[in-house]
Amino acid sequence: MNFLKKFFAAAVMSATIFFACEVEAADYYSAIYRTVNSYNSNGVECDWITRAILYASSEYQVDPILITAIMEAESGFDFHATSPVGAIGLMQLMPETAAYLGVNPHNPLENVLGGTRFIRDQLGRFKDWGIYSVTDAVAAYNAGPGAVEKYGGVPNYSETVNYVIKVANNYKKLLALVQS
Residue spans of alpha helices (H) in 61-157: 64-75, 95-101, 108-125, 133-143, 145-151
User: What type of residue is 11?
Assistant: A
Catalytic residue check, 74: yes
Helix (H) or strand (E) segment spanning residue 87: none
Q: What are phi and psi of 144, to 5 degrees?
A: 95, 145
Choosing from 22, 45, 74, 159, the catalytic residue is 74
CA distances from 63 to 19, 55, 98, 159, 164 (A): 9, 11, 21, 24, 16
Helix/strand/coil for 62? coil
How far, in Å, CA of 49 to CA of 176, rounded? 20
Which of 102, 85, 78 is CA-nearest to residue 142?
Answer: 85
Catalytic residue list? 74
